[in-house]
Chains A and B, each alone.
Chain A
């Protein structure tokens, strides 16, 4: 027990040099070294700005790419709550949705320009988040998670159903600022906002406010004894998260051209949590990669040659493999009198058989010619949670943990594959 507890050392600031690489402190890259580093950074920029969207995707997928940038903004917003303030939000679809409806209302009803809509959406987003943050001062941990969950559903059903503001079930229009169906410039607008959000996040974490947030995340009581104003900084953290989410929501509204309440369901909130945790808390680059991955999953399946076809094959292969593997495990477990192992084997086998059964036996009506094909949406629903569970159980730092060595190298250090091990990461804190 004690070994498990002490294994993960906590570092105070992710950006500080971990103690085990201080040996390399005198190291300065040569001119060629700097050239290589800037070369890599430059190629990433070229890939994102031109090569990817124009050449690789043929200039046809601006919508999906804009969505990826917006998801990244939402991921960074959620990161402020989970990663910095240390409270979980299961109702983030409310944060985003309020921004979306606010901007749509300002642009269509009040006939203000797009940028005013985004600005007001950000402010309203920050305001509602700060109200919720006030609640977080009284109710913490698991119970607060419950409140956010309930708040998300409340927003979806009640707030977004108010006829005069949101248009009720009919929804509200939100025109694309760059003209109808002209998504290419909009992608760059989204990127600009993402850059702005990144800058604010980065600056905030370099200042007193950022250090205060990290301290109170570790332990609010200890932070208070060091003179940190726990209330003010918690509410500030919520405000920043709401600000980012409001921007993301406004951009999302104008990307879709339309907002209605059914978009902002509980499952969207779970996807947000998923992509942030898989991306890696407190690692901005990791979160951007994770969010973009989930936003582009559909695109990935459509664009990679033969993948869609192969998934259709997997539709039969996976359950057969599961069934056989489960059976083997069950028999082995039974022979060795490991009854729990045998039970797990039976469970795995049953999952395989269950997936197979509607295909082999037409028990489910209306499925004469449409037995379950692993369609992209279902694929995302299955792959996403698996990634989340693998991340939580085996790689608590997510994608961010994997890319830490590269980040470390890019910032002018010697390449060290061991940077950012378990010492550097911790999912979240006990505040229950």
Chain B
């Protein structure tokens, strides 16, 4: 965002702007069309679902932006945090402290992952790192099955009231609103971090020129640790906020939200933090429309199918995403 734009030739920047405008216009047309054929509920439900994807997607973007890695363990950072939240709240610890403990544990998990897996593989190909993070995710899943057995559970929401706000006749619970607020705050904070703080610039520098960054006296290794801890805490936030909506089981975030979150990040351009949120909303709307339109009634698994089509289309037509720089 802040980094690429300055150096990019003006022509491509203009081209990107036009593409963005065209994309938003197309989105607007689609939304108006959906309104016209009476799919208002689908839009609202889609935006709500998309917010959870966007929240998980923020962590993916953070790791990609600063180390060029696709982090398949992001969902499991969240699930582990939810397990900790569950164990601590059932022990009678107040919710706020329990949530804090959960986030700290998620951060420690990120620290452990970075030290034990990411750092030894720092010079390995990116695809190897992808497999390694998938290994971390699988290990977490194994531990969760060991501790928790494959049964669904409920965990308390931060805010319990569900009938405060209503849009087009659909009640949006306070927990959902909290997710929106969290996304807005986190995206803004991260955008500020990357564009206005020295540490944020150091993170970007470390991702673009690791050797030179080391030479000017910034420890790339420490930056890497910092980024993974931040990402893990973000994953923890995503888990703790979304788990009360549907209940949770081992691997619930990885199996339900990881691929939509990746798709959201791809749509947003994978380096853009607001893009992750925008992508999440687009994915959410696409999924909910696909499952409610009569046209797709006979297609089994419309949500997964729409996700696959969306991902292939965006990668073929506009691989840099809607808001991503080249």
Q: Give Cα distance in the complex from A157 to B300, angstroms.
A: 7
Chain B residue, CB-CB nearest to A161: B300
Q: Give Cα distance in the complex from A283 to B130, angstroms.
A: 21
Residues of the B chain whose Cβ atoms lie less than 8 Å from the Cβ of A142: 70, 126-127, 130
Known: A158-B305, A389-B117. A143 touches B266 (CB 8 A): yes
Known: A142-B130, A344-B111, A354-B87. A147 touches B311 (CB 8 A): yes
Contact with A along B240-271 (1 / 0, CB 8 A): 00000000000000010001001100100000
> A277 near B: Cβ within 8 Å?
yes
Known: A146-B266, A270-B134, A354-B84. A378 touches B145 (CB 8 A): yes
- Contact for B87 among A141, A363, A429, CB less than 8 A: A363
- State whether B87 touches A357 (Cβ < 8 A): yes
Known: A389-B117, A392-B131. A1 touches B211 (CB 8 A): yes
- Contact for B127 among A162, A163, A361, A431, CB less than 8 A: A431
Give residues 354-389 of A contacting B (CB, 8 Å): 354-355, 357-358, 361, 363-364, 366-367, 372, 374, 377-378, 381-382, 384-386, 388-389
> B34 near A: Cβ within 8 Å?
no
> A154 near B: Cβ within 8 Å?
yes
Give residues 294-346 of A contacting B (CB, 8 Å): 340, 343-344, 346
Known: A135-B312, A158-B301. A432 touches B126 (CB 8 A): yes
Interface size class of chain B, counting residues whose CB lies under 8 Å from the partner chain? 35 or more
- State whether B145 touches A381 (Cβ < 8 A): yes
Q: Give Cα distance in the complex from A389 to B134, angstroms.
A: 10
Q: Give Cα distance in the complex from A149 to B133, angstroms.
A: 14
Contact with A along B49-83 (1 / 0, CB 8 A): 00000000000000000001010000000000001
> B138 near A: Cβ within 8 Å?
yes
- State whether A363 touches B136 (Cβ < 8 A): no
Chain B residue, CB-CB nearest to A138: B316
Give residues 149-182 of A contacting B (CB, 8 Å): 149-151, 153-154, 156-158, 161-163, 168
Q: Give Cα distance in the complex from A13 to B122, angstroms.
A: 26
> B198 near A: Cβ within 8 Å?
no
- State whether A154 touches B305 (Cβ < 8 A): yes
- State whether A388 touches B131 (Cβ < 8 A): yes
- State whether A366 touches B151 (Cβ < 8 A): yes
> A4 near B: Cβ within 8 Å?
yes
Q: Give Cα distance in the complex from A361 to B86, angstroms.
A: 14
Residues of the A chain whose Cβ atoms lie less than 8 Å from the Cβ of B308: 150-151, 153-154, 158
Give residues 294-326 of B contacting A (CB, 8 Å): 299-305, 307-308, 311-312, 315-316, 319
> B5 near A: Cβ within 8 Å?
no
Q: Give Cα distance in the complex from A45 to B128, angstroms.
A: 34
Q: Give Cα distance in the complex from A427 to B84, angstroms.
A: 35
- State whether A139 touches B90 (Cβ < 8 A): no
Known: A168-B300, A355-B146. A430 touches B126 (CB 8 A): yes
- State whether B139 touches A386 (Cβ < 8 A): yes
Contact with A along B90-124 (1 / 0, CB 8 A): 11000000000000010011011001110011111
- State whether A392 touches B128 (Cβ < 8 A): yes
Chain A residue, CB-CB nearest to B125: A430
- State whether B301 touches A382 (Cβ < 8 A): no
- State whether B304 touches A153 (Cβ < 8 A): yes
Residues of the A chain whose Cβ atoms lie less than 8 Å from the Cβ of B127: 88, 141-142, 145, 427-432
Q: Give Cα distance in the complex from A392 to B121, angstroms.
A: 8
> B155 near A: Cβ within 8 Å?
no
Q: Give Cα distance in the complex from A284 to B262, angstroms.
A: 33
Known: A4-B123, A363-B91, A378-B145. A392 touches B301 (CB 8 A): no
Measured CB to CB, the closest approach of chain A to B206, in angstroms, equals 13
Q: Give Cα distance in the complex from A385 to B139, angstroms.
A: 5
- State whether B316 touches A139 (Cβ < 8 A): yes
> A393 near B: Cβ within 8 Å?
yes
> A55 near B: Cβ within 8 Å?
no
Residues of the B chain whose Cβ atoms lie less than 8 Å from the Cβ of A348: 112
Residues of the A chain whose Cβ atoms lie less than 8 Å from the Cβ of B312: 135, 147, 150
- State whether B115 touches A381 (Cβ < 8 A): no
Contact with B along A259-297 (1 / 0, CB 8 A): 000000011001001100100000000000000000000
Q: Give Cα distance in the complex from A142 to B315, angstroms.
A: 12
- Contact for A141 among B117, B122, B126, B259, CB less than 8 A: B126
Residues of the B chain whose Cβ atoms lie less than 8 Å from the Cβ of A273: 131, 134
Residues of the A chain whose Cβ atoms lie less than 8 Å from the Cβ of B266: 143, 146
> A5 near B: Cβ within 8 Å?
yes
> B161 near A: Cβ within 8 Å?
no
Chain B residue, CB-CB nearest to A377: B145
- State whether A428 touches B151 (Cβ < 8 A): no
- State whether B151 touches A1 (Cβ < 8 A): no
Residues of the B chain whose Cβ atoms lie less than 8 Å from the Cβ of A236: none
Q: Give Cα distance in the complex from A134 to B259, angstroms.
A: 22
Q: Give Cα distance in the complex from A396 to B90, angstroms.
A: 43
Chain B residue, CB-CB nearest to A266: B255
Measured CB to CB, the closest approach of chain B to A156, in angstroms, equals 7
Residues of the A chain whose Cβ atoms lie less than 8 Å from the Cβ of B147: 354-355, 358, 372
> A106 near B: Cβ within 8 Å?
no
- State whether A382 touches B143 (Cβ < 8 A): yes
> B135 near A: Cβ within 8 Å?
yes
Measured CB to CB, the closest approach of chain A to B326, in angstroms, equals 15
Residues of the A chain whose Cβ atoms lie less than 8 Å from the Cβ of B4: none
> A214 near B: Cβ within 8 Å?
no
> B225 near A: Cβ within 8 Å?
yes
- State whether A372 touches B146 (Cβ < 8 A): yes
Measured CB to CB, the closest approach of chain B to A284, in angstroms, equals 20
- State whether B148 touches A347 (Cβ < 8 A): no
A267-B141, A340-B115, A432-B125 known, 8 other contacts, Cβ within 8 Å: A153-B308, A157-B304, A274-B138, A343-B108, A358-B87, A385-B136, A393-B132, A430-B127
Which 7 pairs from chain A and chain B are nearest by CB? A157-B301, A161-B300, A381-B142, A347-B108, A385-B139, A154-B308, A382-B142
Instruction: Give 10 CB contacts A-B under 8 Å.
Output: A5-B123, A135-B316, A146-B70, A156-B301, A347-B109, A358-B87, A364-B148, A388-B138, A392-B124, A392-B132
